[in-house]
């Protein structure tokens, strides 16, 4: 008889995602995966603050439709909060919240500019004009 053609799986995976904190990103997972990650965290001794997960996408390039050798696409990880310049916290070597140090420079407060003295000039010109008008009528009256 004829021998069945065997399909050899050829899995390629993208890199793992960054580790996300389970109790802050669990909406991305179904209940089965949430429970799986929680159990793995318990096994590894990760407490609630460090229980994380990461995911990756894997594809069988030969499209065998067999999942026997499919690599893991989700795993538990030790979540560590990564300080950065966009976390709204003054940390690392920042001089202000998310600025200074390794982050973008902090904006220096703008000096208070003295209001322009246009109004002073306006009053002065008005006085000169008024004196001129008074002087004009005074001279006209005395002629």
> Do residues 76 and 40 touch, judged by C-beta distance below 8 A?
yes
Instruction: Indicate the number of domains in the chain.
Output: 1
The answer to the question of residue 122 being in a domain is no
The answer to the question of residue 134 being in a domain is no
> Do residues 10 and 66 touch, judged by C-beta distance below 8 A?
no
**Could you read off the pLDDT of 31-58 as tens digits, one per residue?**
999 999 999 999 999 999 999 999 999 9
Q: What's the rounded Cα separation, in Å, for the pair 68 and 106?
A: 55
> What pLDDT, on a 0 to 100 scale, did the predictor assign at position 85?
84
> Do residues 53 and 32 touch, judged by C-beta distance below 8 A?
no
Q: What angle do CA 55, 52, 30 make, to 5 degrees?
A: 60
Question: Residue 29: which domain range?
Answer: 11-78
> Do residues 29 and 20 touch, judged by C-beta distance below 8 A?
no
Does position 114 have pLDDT exceeding 70, yes or no? Answer: no
The answer to the question of residue 18 being in a domain is yes
The answer to the question of residue 67 being in a domain is yes
The answer to the question of residue 102 being in a domain is no
The answer to the question of residue 98 being in a domain is no
**Which residues lie closer than 8 Å to 121 by C-beta, 6 or more apart?**
none
The answer to the question of residue 142 being in a domain is no
The answer to the question of residue 47 being in a domain is yes
Which pTM does this prediction carry? 0.54
Q: How many CB atoms lie within 10 A of CB 52?
A: 22
Q: What six digits make up the tokens of 21?
A: 């904190």
- Segment 80-99 shows an average pLDDT of 81
């Amino acid at each position: 008889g004829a021998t069945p053609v065997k399909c050899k799986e050829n899995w390629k995976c993208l890199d793992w995602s960054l580790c996300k904190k389970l109790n802050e990103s669990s909406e991305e997972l179904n209940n089965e995966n949430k429970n799986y990650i929680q159990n793995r965290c318990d096994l590894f001794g990760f407490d609630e603050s460090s229980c994380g997960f990461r995911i990756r996408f894997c594809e069988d390039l030969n499209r065998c439709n067999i999942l026997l050798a499919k690599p893991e696409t989700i795993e538990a990880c030790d979540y560590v909060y990564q300080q950065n310049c966009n976390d709204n916290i003054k940390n690392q070597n920042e001089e202000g919240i998310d600025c200074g140090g390794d982050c973008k420079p902090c904006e220096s407060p703008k000096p208070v500019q003295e209001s322009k003295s246009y109004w002073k000039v306006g009053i002065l010109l008005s006085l000169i004009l008024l004196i001129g008008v008074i002087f004009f009528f005074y001279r006209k009256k005395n002629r």
